């Protein structure tokens, strides 16, 4: 009976024990979630943002004080708590919003911060070594294998040649044939060529054909910079920002909807996010620090210095002066996706590159195929009506039908 009683009571207690363990676990997770959802806009563990760095806050303040402070800091300031007033003044009198968290929830956050404080300062996730951006990563030197293979082959052929010569000599000595007159290497080559006329002809024709084709394409590509992917002063990744983080293209390239130039964002646009995001997943703090350096911004104090230096990006898309291109015409009026010309920027471009050839033939090709978005645009209303009247509803109104191939649309 005793035994069964213990067993039963154990069985009865089991869920409680289990739940105790489980609830302890949930408690810590809650702290992290709450912290990330509510605190990170203004706080970081190790860095001073709008509010102070939270590392070791449990050492600086008592838990009771922290709970009161986190719940309603303004009440404490009004009540004249000296520590609270000092903190408030120190951080430019920016009030931390009040909230309705329970004591347990706040304790969970404190516990999370405590746990994080004890961890060593986080190293960048990958490629953390200084200067090791994705740009400068070197690939295995394929060329060297080729060189080694080639030299092995050369060695082999020369050994075999020697062997052949020795065998011939031996044969001649054995059969008592006279030594052939000595030949210079040039004479030897000619001799070989006379004996291999067909091979020479084939080689010659192949080489000429190959050369012509290569040369033709080389000439065709003069002035075309398709694939041009220059190194940039900051290892900015479109893949990360536009792809993973899903930031709209026009958030940064805001001119694209308004006018001629899409525009490279000014550094203050970067700072909209990077005032808080100080560390990236790939390059850590290093690349983001270049924005700060350009603006002469001190992230620890949040003060802009007097010596900003402009960022000298390398221009990727270089249209000649003789061609006029307007982004707004294509983006706002034509409703063409950025990717149509700029390629899958969000998927594959860690460094921006020129996706399209940007030749006139390429422009014209598109103008021949692309239909004009006339419906719903009052600018075209009468024109559209007239065109439909003349050609019928099924008529495809492409850009070239409304004069999109005329010289002065792009050249003036």
Partner 1 sequence: MSNRYWKGVEELSNDAEFVRLKNNEFFEPLPIDEVVSNKASESTLTPRRDFLKFLGFSVAAASLASCEAPVTKSIPYLIKPEEITPGIANWYASSYFDGYDYCSVLVKTREGRPIKIEGNSLSSVTKGGVNARVQASVLSLYDNHRLKGPSINGGQVSWEQIDKEVSEKLNAIVSLGGKIRILSSTVISPSTLKLISEFSAKYPNTKHVMYDAVSVAGIRQANQESFGQNVLPTYNFDKADVIVSIGADFLVNWISPLEHSKQYAQTRKLNNGKKNMSRHIQFESSLSVTGSNADQRLAVKPSHQAAVAANLYNAVASLAGAAPIQAPATELQKEIQAVAKELWQSKGKSLVVCGVNHSAVQNVINSINSLLGSYGNTIDLDNPCKLRQGSDADLATLREEMNKGEVSALLVYNCNPVYTLADGDKFMNQLQKMELSLSFSEREDETSRACKYSCPDHHSLESWADAEPRAGSFSLGQPTIAPLFSTRQMQDSLLKWTGSSQTYYDYLVSYWNSNILNKAGKSWNNVLQDGVLELAPNTAKQYSSNANLGAAASMLGSLTGSGFEIMVYEKTGMGSGVMANNPWLQELPDPISKITWDNYLAVSPKDAREKGWRQGNVVSVTAGSVKMDLPVVIQPGQAFGSASVALGYGRSAAGKVADKVGVNVYPLMNSRDGFIMNYISGVDIQKSPADDHEFAATQTHHTLMGRAIVKETTLQEWQKNPNSGNKQLTYKKKIGTHEELDVKPSELELWDRHEDRGDLSNHHWGMGIDLNSCIGCGSCVIACTAENNVPVVGKDEVRRSREMHWMRIDRYYSSDFDPKPGEEKDIKKMEDPSDMPKVVFQPMLCQHCNNAPCETVCPVIATSHSSEGLNQMTYNRCVGTRYCANNCPYKVRRFNWFQYSDNTQFDYNMNNDLGKMVLNPDVVVRSRGVMEKCSMCVQRIQEGKLEAKKAGRKIKDGEVNTACAQSCPTNAIVFGDFKNPDSEVKKLWKPEERSYHVLEELNVKPNVYYLTKVRNSGNGNQA
Tell me which residues touch partner 1 (CB under 8 A).
Answer: 222-223, 225, 228, 230, 254-255, 258-261, 263-269, 294-295, 308, 310-315, 318, 321-322, 324, 326, 328-329, 332-333, 376-383, 386-387, 390-391, 401-403, 406-409, 411-412
Please say whether the beta carbons of 144 and 299 come within 8 A: no
Coil, strand, or helix at residue 325?
coil
Between 21 and 324, whose beta carbon lies closer to partner 1?
Answer: 324
**Minimum gap (Å) between residue 320 Cβ and partner 1:** 8
Query: What is the distance between the alpha carbons of residues 93 and 86, in angstroms, rounded to a whole number?
Result: 10
Between 173 and 221, whose beta carbon lies closer to partner 1?
Answer: 221
**Minimum gap (Å) between residue 34 Cβ and partner 1:** 35
Coil, strand, or helix at residue 385?
helix
**Minimum gap (Å) between residue 288 Cβ and partner 1:** 15
Between 169 and 411, whose beta carbon lies closer to partner 1?
Answer: 411
**Minimum gap (Å) between residue 210 Cβ and partner 1:** 21
Reported as type and span, the H/E element at residue 382 is helix 381-391
Q: Which two tokens stand for residue 230?
A: 């220059």
User: Around 129, how many Cα atoms within 13 Å sit in the side-chain half-sphere?
Assistant: 4
Between 158 and 221, whose beta carbon lies closer to partner 1?
Answer: 221
**Minimum gap (Å) between residue 377 Cβ and partner 1:** 5
Rg (CA), the chain: 37
**Minimum gap (Å) between residue 384 Cβ and partner 1:** 9
Between 112 and 236, whose beta carbon lies closer to partner 1?
Answer: 236
Between 184 and 408, whose beta carbon lies closer to partner 1?
Answer: 408
Please say whether the beta carbons of 72 and 79 come within 8 A: no
Between 281 and 305, whose beta carbon lies closer to partner 1?
Answer: 305
Please say whether the beta carbons of 226 and 361 come within 8 A: no
Between 44 and 295, whose beta carbon lies closer to partner 1?
Answer: 295
Please say whether the beta carbons of 53 and 46 come within 8 A: yes
**Minimum gap (Å) between residue 329 Cβ and partner 1:** 6
Between 114 and 409, whose beta carbon lies closer to partner 1?
Answer: 409
- What Å distances lie between residue 315 and 36, 100, 276, CA to CA? 38, 51, 28
Phi-psi region of 62 (alpha: psi -120 to 50; beta: other; left: phi over 0): beta
Query: What is the distance between the alpha carbons of residues 45 and 31, in angstroms, rounded to a whole number?
Result: 14
Between 194 and 309, whose beta carbon lies closer to partner 1?
Answer: 309
Query: What is the distance between the alpha carbons of residues 12 and 188, in angstroms, rounded to a whole number?
Result: 101
**Minimum gap (Å) between residue 272 Cβ and partner 1:** 12
**Minimum gap (Å) between residue 185 Cβ and partner 1:** 36
Compute the CA torsion angle 155, 158, 164, 169 (nearest 10 deg): -130
Please say whether the beta carbons of 4 and 12 come within 8 A: no
Phi-psi region of 127 (alpha: psi -120 to 50; beta: other; left: phi over 0): left
Please name the residues in contact with 91: beta carbons below 8 A apart, sequence gap of 6 or more.
Answer: 50, 51, 52
Query: What is the distance between the alpha carbons of residues 234 and 293, in angstroms, rounded to a whole number?
Result: 11
CA of residue 34 relative to chain centroid, distance: 30
**Minimum gap (Å) between residue 304 Cβ and partner 1:** 9
């Amino acid at each position: 009976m005793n035994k069964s009683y213990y067993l039963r009571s154990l069985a009865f207690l089991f869920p409680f024990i289990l739940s105790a363990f489980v609830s302890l676990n949930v408690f810590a997770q809650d702290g992290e979630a709450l912290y990330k959802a509510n605190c990170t806009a203004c706080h970081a563990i190790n860095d001073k943002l709008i509010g102070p760095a939270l590392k070791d806050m449990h050492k600086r303040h008592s838990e009771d004080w922290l709970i009161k402070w986190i719940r309603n800091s303004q009440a404490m300031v009004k009540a004249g708590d000296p520590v609270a007033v000092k903190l408030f003044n120190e951080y430019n009198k920016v009030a931390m919003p009040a909230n309705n968290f329970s004591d347990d929830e706040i304790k969970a956050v404190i516990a999370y911060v405590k746990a994080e404080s004890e961890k060593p300062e986080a190293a960048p996730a990958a490629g953390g070594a200084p200067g090791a951006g994705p740009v400068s990563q070197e690939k295995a030197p394929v060329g060297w294998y080729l060189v080694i293979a080639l030299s092995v082959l050369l060695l082999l052929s020369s050994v075999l040649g020697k062997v052949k010569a020795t065998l011939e000599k031996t044969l001649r000595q054995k059969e008592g044939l006279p030594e052939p007159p000595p030949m210079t290497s040039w004479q030897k080559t000619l001799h070989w060529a006379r004996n291999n006329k067909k091979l020479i002809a084939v080689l010659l024709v192949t080489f000429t054909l190959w050369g012509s084709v290569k040369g033709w394409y080389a000439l065709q590509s003069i002035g075309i910079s398709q694939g041009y992917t220059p190194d940039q002063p900051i290892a900015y990744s479109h893949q990360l920002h536009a792809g993973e983080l899903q930031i709209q293209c026009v958030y940064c390239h805001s001119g694209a909807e308004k006018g001629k130039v899409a525009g490279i964002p000014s550094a203050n646009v970067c700072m909209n996010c990077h005032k808080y995001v100080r560390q990236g997943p790939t390059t850590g703090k290093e690349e983001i620090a270049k924005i700060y350096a350009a603006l002469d911004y001190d992230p620890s104090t949040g003060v802009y210095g007097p010596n900003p230096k402009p960022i000298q990006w390398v221009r990727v898309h270089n249209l000649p002066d003789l061609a006029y291109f307007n982004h707004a015409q294509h983006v706002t009026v034509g409703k063409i996706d950025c990717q149509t010309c700029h390629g899958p920027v969000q998927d594959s471009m860690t460094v921006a590159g020129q996706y399209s050839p940007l030749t006139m033939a390429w422009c014209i090709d598109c103008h021949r195929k692309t239909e004009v978005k006339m419906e719903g645009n009052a600018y075209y209303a009468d024109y559209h009506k007239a065109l439909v009247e003349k050609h019928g509803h099924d008529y495809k109104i492409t850009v070239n039908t409304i004069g999109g191939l005329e010289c002065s649309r792009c050249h003036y």
